[in-house]
Structure 1
Amino acid sequence: MAGLFTRFTQVVFPGSAKPASAAFGRWRQPLLLGATLMCGVLLGAGRFQASRQNPEGTLRGYLRFKEVLSHVDEEYVDSVDVEALSDYAIARMLERLDPHSTFIPAREREQSAAFLQSDYDGIGVEFNLFRDTVTVIAPLGGGPAEQAGLQPGDRILAVNNQPVSGRHITITQMFGKLRGPAGSRVQLQVLRRPGSKPLLLSVPRQRIPNTSVDAAYLLNETTGYIKISRFASGTYDEFKQALGDLNRQGMTKLVLDLRGNPGGYLDRATKLADEFIAGTRKLVYTEGKDDQFDTQTFSRVNGEFEEGQLVVLIDEGSASAAEVVAGALQDHDRALLVGRRTFGKGLVQQPVVLNDGSELRLTIARYYTPSGRCIQKSYAEGPAAYSQELRNRQRQGELQHADSIHVDDALRYHTAHGRVVYGGGGISPDVFVARDQATLAPYYARLQSQNLVREYALQFFQSHKAELEALRFEQFQESFQISPAQLAELADRAEQDGIALDETALRQCAPLLSNQLKAHIARSAYGKTAYYQVLNSRDAELQAALKAVADGRALLAQDLSGN
């Protein structure tokens, strides 16, 4: 039994790389078995280390859990995996603390960390699952998959002679099969066209960049656009390169897109914010139970874009480190925020690596914006209510009407130039843009959830590859349109997959679906930047940002105060 318990080893994660949202999304697990104390699981028999806060209570909890687990192991009627039970108990217990403290078993730790890595060992291919078939979306340009001949639309039937098609394989499992040590090779069986003979490709693995700056290009002669999907280890360097490239092209105004960005490393986020804020100004601070977790971060470098109009796009998917950036820029009246209220994740997790390779990510502090706003929304009503909060925003009309945003007047703060802002959960925009009503239609949601839009676009690309490659992207962008007949064909395919036709919803969604189909076709034919260029052409938030730039409202955010 002693082997079941590992000594709690505290590893202070360097302040330059605290993961601001490492546990984002893991609070959805069901709330069960929350009566045990953490150290009862993590401390080894005979090696107990008492808590400084409540040593007697910690000891009693530890002994109680050890005794229960011993009885289960020795006397329970069926054979059980006591280590799996311990993992389960830890996870359920942490849910009683807050939505973002979490436990990651050793077998999942590497995969969990991969999201924030700047590179990985693999073959460099973007894929998706269509009807239980692994389908290539695009190989990375210049990567081993592309050099081996892998093409968009290829169906991967087997990996190293192990079938993966029609086996209900998950994306995570597929990642595990394709990734591996650099220098090793992976054998792929690929079907290029129905009825053709499968191809056998031997693809070498090598170090693949895992980029987080998804797109950077000029919207017009002087306005740049940068899309950041997360704050990973390489984000700041990628951003600096993109910013420098746009500056050299004549950019004097910038739209920074943080929509759907779940956060990541705090120091990458604050370094990015520092590029926009002159002088020595507070960017964010944290407060915890002990002084050791209290920190303050200030701007300190001469940034490359400290002047010029800046607009930041945010929405309900922007969280944690993304909210830190948005809050700092808003509090210092440096940027105009456009979109909708952000998620509201303002808890700091510290990674604690355990002896068996598992990891505890424990909330040790809260984030505050320079004006004193706490970003974190309430979780007092428990995990179930917390997980429903975004859905409640939709039901209450917040995604459609700015005046439906509920604020606590007691949590009123002021920006550097006196504008009123509110704490209590997320960052509210300066310019509200309603969510496209079409995205809320159940018919549209089912098309997306079953990947039918991407699948149809990929098949269209395969059928028209020669014509598309004969066009320059500028020609495609100007002349190509999705026809009503093609939308009808998409709807027919959806019916074959069990999605009943809703003609009213289809008409309502037609402009959105047409643009998405065109964007996905552009992704296969011309690359990721082309995808965003098409998608952004009818993006309501981006159009509002461009209007704010044209009107000069983003030049001095303090003008919004009416002064």
Structure 2
Amino acid sequence: MEKKNSYLWPTLFALAVALGVFIGGKLHFNDTPERLFSTNSKKDKLNRLIDYIDYEYVDDVDTDSIVDVTVNNILGKLDPHSVYIPRSEMQEVSENMKGDFGGIGISFYMFRDTITVIRTIKNGPSYITGIMPGDRILMADKDTLFGKRIPNDTVVSKLKGRIGTKVDLKVFRKTENRFMDVTVTRNKIPIKSVVAYYMLTKDMGYLKINRFAESTFNEFKDALRKLKLRGAEKLVLDLRDNPGGYLGIAEKLTDEFLEEDKLILFTKNKKGRIKKAYATDKGDFEDKPVYVLINERSASASEIIAGALQDNDIGTIVGRRSFGKGLVQREMDLGDGSAVRLTVSRYYTPTGRSIQKSYENGHRDYYQKFMERYRSGEMISVDSIKVADSLKFVTPKGKVVYGGGGIIPDVFVPIGSNEEEAIESMDDTYQFFSRFIFEHLEEDRNRYADYTKNQFLEEFRVDDILFDNFIDFVLNRKIRLDFYAQEEKIKAYLKANIAEQLFSPNISAQIKGEHDAMLKKVKALDALEIKPAGAEISHVEN
């Protein structure tokens, strides 16, 4: 409302013109106001068509859906990363990037058609009112929340709300076989982007980031401070599967590792305007060993960090070639609650390389080429990575690096076997481990009541009965693999999921980390104090 009031003029027409200028500037259109309101304008043609359909077409038509399709078709002619965000999705997208929302502070499953609490956020609204893991939430403000036909988003909407508002819950506690009436005051609930951190060795910390939201830098600083207090003089920064996020947050995080005045990146827009970002004197982890983990799903802001450190000869990049997204988007409001994220510039690493994959043959070809990495053998052998000599760059210390299609790590770690990757998918994508453990805990939560975090970590062992029960659980879902060949890893993942539901993601990550090929490689490199000059690859023209 403040922006609109700032454009008040004596006449309604003047208001419309002023708003047109404002909107045009915001969307970076080059049209003049006269052109925007001209009957010859390309934009007016679309407006007229929608009006004709609204008022003249023989049948009733949802023109909102037509507009959505039109916008998506227009963006489909651009690059693969310019995207439309419908009004229906804006709140969730905004919350995810902001890093918090108003809610009651629980994670839950729809277990047998009923909301069942997995865990409450410590010191959050539900935790304070005494809600416990295993509790069933049956009603919210007299609205029924159980039953097969209630969509998950409906359930979430009843529990989320403005900070400070109250919600009356009807709760059933299975362990005590009783119903309770609980009033919870909604509060700010963080959506964590630093999903785990712990001490990997006595002097090396581990920290995993899953996206770059508004809250990420503060989360990172808090986790790093705690790791340093525990003795961390080295750091593993895990950016695997991180699709990116805010450019500015990535710049601030990179600054933590680079000396003052070191170039982080530069961007260039369609007019050739170059904007450079340099490190400041505020870094808290300069001149200390850092290992950055990346894989084929690390993109955008993740690649900015990896590229900036690699080009400045700082740290060691470990893993597999990253996705290859070197475009910068800006979110622009479309005036009806929807928005577009439009590519406005390209970014380049300090040596001047663009890591953006080609998209000249369209979106489908763009993603098919990504899938070809699996068929080409690139995931298994570093020698299968194809690069062009024309895209070769050299760092200040003489390390050869390449542009055009992602960050190639200094130390290559191949992808796991098909069965190892299947276990990862059962855990991350399909959540079979989490679901099985939840049902296991539901049988008798008291069996774990006496464990402390450290006791569980050091003493608990998954027995053969639990292992066999998990096999039956998975077989019933038509999954077939050699479970007994992967027994050690499966048991570790079962233990990790128990730890996450009883204690915290940090304990879970620590357990899984013992079976992580990249972390094993980092430990080996650190033990040998190897400082590789770069991965050796075959020079094959694209």
Is the structural similarity TM-score above 0.5? Answer: yes
Cα deviation, residue 375, structure 1: 2.2
- 1:250 corresponds to 2:231: yes
| Counterpart position of 1:22 | none
Query: Which of these residues, 201, 214, 237, is aligned with residue 220 of structure 1?
Result: 201
Cα deviation, residue 488, structure 1: 2.3
CA contact (8 A) 1:280 1:299 kept: yes
Relative contact order (alpha carbons < 8 A, sep ≥ 6): 1 or 2 greater? 1
| Counterpart position of 2:491 | 514
| Counterpart position of 2:321 | 341
Opposite residue 403 of structure 1, the aligned amino acid is D
- 1:297 corresponds to 2:284: no
Query: Which of these residues, 108, 116, 134, is aligned with residue 127 of structure 1?
Result: 108
C-alpha distance in 2 between matches for 1:326 and 1:119 = 27
TM-score of the aligned structures, taking structure 1 as reference length:
0.83
Q: 1:145-200: per-residue Cα shift (whole Å, max 9, x none)? A: 11223333444444433344444656554443321111112233445439955544
Q: How do residues 189-268 of structure 1 correspond to structure 2 at under 5 angstroms?
A: 189-193=170-174, 196=177, 199-268=180-249
CA contact (8 A) 1:320 1:344 kept: yes
Query: Which of these residues, 376, 399, 409, is aligned with residue 379 of structure 2?
Result: 399
| Counterpart position of 2:528 | 551
- For residues 416 and 169 of structure 1, do their structure 2 counterparts lie closer, same or farther at Cα, with a shift above 3 Å needed? farther
CA contact (8 A) 2:265 2:347 kept: yes
C-alpha distance in 2 between matches for 1:12 and 1:480 = 57
Structure 1 runs not aligned, ≥5 long: 1-5, 14-37
Q: 1:34-91: per-residue Cα shift (whole Å, max 9, x none)? A: xxxx98xx99xx966459xxxx9x9553243234323322333321121221122112
C-alpha distance in 2 between matches for 1:246 and 1:478 = 20
- For residues 69 and 319 of structure 1, do their structure 2 counterparts lie closer, same or farther at Cα, with a shift above 3 Å needed? same
CA contact (8 A) 2:264 2:279 kept: yes
C-alpha distance in 1 between matches for 2:349 and 2:336 = 37
Opposite residue 128 of structure 2, the aligned amino acid is Q
Cα deviation, residue 310, structure 1: 0.9
CA contact (8 A) 2:420 2:486 kept: no
**Greater Cα shift, 375-384 or 335-344:** 375-384
Opposite residue 521 of structure 1, the aligned amino acid is I
Identity of aligned residues (%): 36
**Greater Cα shift, 150-159 or 400-409:** 150-159
- For residues 162 and 343 of structure 1, do their structure 2 counterparts lie closer, same or farther at Cα, with a shift above 3 Å needed? farther
C-alpha distance in 1 between matches for 2:422 and 2:226 = 41
Query: Which of these residues, 328, 332, 344, is aligned with residue 312 of structure 2?
Result: 332
**Greater Cα shift, 439-448 or 258-267:** 439-448
Opposite residue 465 of structure 2, the aligned amino acid is A
CA contact (8 A) 1:333 1:558 kept: no
Opposite residue 280 of structure 2, the aligned amino acid is R
Cα deviation, residue 130, structure 1: 5.3
Q: How do residues 18-29 of structure 1 correspond to structure 2 at under 5 angstroms?
A: none
| Counterpart position of 2:388 | 408
Structure 2 runs not aligned, ≥5 long: 1-18, 537-542
Q: Secondary structure at the match of 2:386?
A: coil
CA contact (8 A) 1:315 1:341 kept: yes
Q: How do residues 86-125 of structure 1 correspond to structure 2 at under 5 angstroms?
A: 86-125=67-106
CA contact (8 A) 1:417 1:558 kept: no
C-alpha distance in 2 between matches for 1:508 and 1:355 = 56
- 1:493 corresponds to 2:493: no
Q: How do residues 50-199 of structure 1 correspond to structure 2 at under 5 angstroms?
A: 50=36, 59=40, 61-129=42-110, 133-167=114-148, 172-193=153-174, 196=177, 199=180
C-alpha distance in 2 between matches for 1:64 and 1:259 = 45
- For residues 68 and 50 of structure 1, do their structure 2 counterparts lie closer, same or farther at Cα, with a shift above 3 Å needed? closer
- For residues 72 and 234 of structure 1, do their structure 2 counterparts lie closer, same or farther at Cα, with a shift above 3 Å needed? same
Q: How do residues 264-303 of structure 1 correspond to structure 2 at under 5 angstroms?
A: 264-291=245-272, 294-303=274-283
CA contact (8 A) 1:443 1:506 kept: no
CA contact (8 A) 2:99 2:190 kept: yes
Cα deviation, residue 458, structure 1: 1.8
C-alpha distance in 2 between matches for 1:443 and 1:529 = 20
- For residues 196 and 233 of structure 1, do their structure 2 counterparts lie closer, same or farther at Cα, with a shift above 3 Å needed? same
TM-score of the aligned structures, taking structure 2 as reference length:
0.86
Opposite residue 528 of structure 1, the aligned amino acid is P
| Counterpart position of 1:9 | 23
| Counterpart position of 1:28 | none
**Greater Cα shift, 412-421 or 242-251:** 242-251
Query: Which of these residues, 441, 459, 479, is aligned with residue 461 of structure 1?
Result: 441
- 1:540 corresponds to 2:521: no
| Counterpart position of 2:398 | 418
| Counterpart position of 2:332 | 352
| Counterpart position of 1:29 | none
| Counterpart position of 1:526 | 503
CA contact (8 A) 1:333 1:557 kept: no
- For residues 344 and 131 of structure 1, do their structure 2 counterparts lie closer, same or farther at Cα, with a shift above 3 Å needed? farther
CA contact (8 A) 1:259 1:318 kept: yes
Opposite residue 510 of structure 1, the aligned amino acid is E
CA contact (8 A) 2:300 2:325 kept: yes
CA contact (8 A) 2:99 2:192 kept: yes
Opposite residue 219 of structure 2, the aligned amino acid is E
Q: Secondary structure at the match of 1:9?
A: helix
> Cα RMSD (Å) of the superposition?
3.1
- For residues 491 and 137 of structure 1, do their structure 2 counterparts lie closer, same or farther at Cα, with a shift above 3 Å needed? same
- For residues 372 and 173 of structure 1, do their structure 2 counterparts lie closer, same or farther at Cα, with a shift above 3 Å needed? farther
CA contact (8 A) 1:253 1:549 kept: no
Cα deviation, residue 508, structure 1: 4.2
Q: 1:532-552: per-residue Cα shift (whole Å, max 9, x none)? A: 111112111111112111111
| Counterpart position of 1:481 | 461
Q: Secondary structure at the match of 1:372?
A: coil
C-alpha distance in 1 between matches for 2:96 and 2:378 = 30
CA contact (8 A) 1:264 1:321 kept: yes
C-alpha distance in 2 between matches for 1:247 and 1:532 = 19
Q: Secondary structure at the match of 2:526?
A: helix
Cα deviation, residue 280, structure 1: 0.9
- For residues 286 and 443 of structure 1, do their structure 2 counterparts lie closer, same or farther at Cα, with a shift above 3 Å needed? closer
Q: 1:430-450: per-residue Cα shift (whole Å, max 9, x none)? A: 111122224566687467654
- For residues 180 and 548 of structure 1, do their structure 2 counterparts lie closer, same or farther at Cα, with a shift above 3 Å needed? same
Cα deviation, residue 129, structure 1: 4.7
Cα deviation, residue 471, structure 1: 2.0
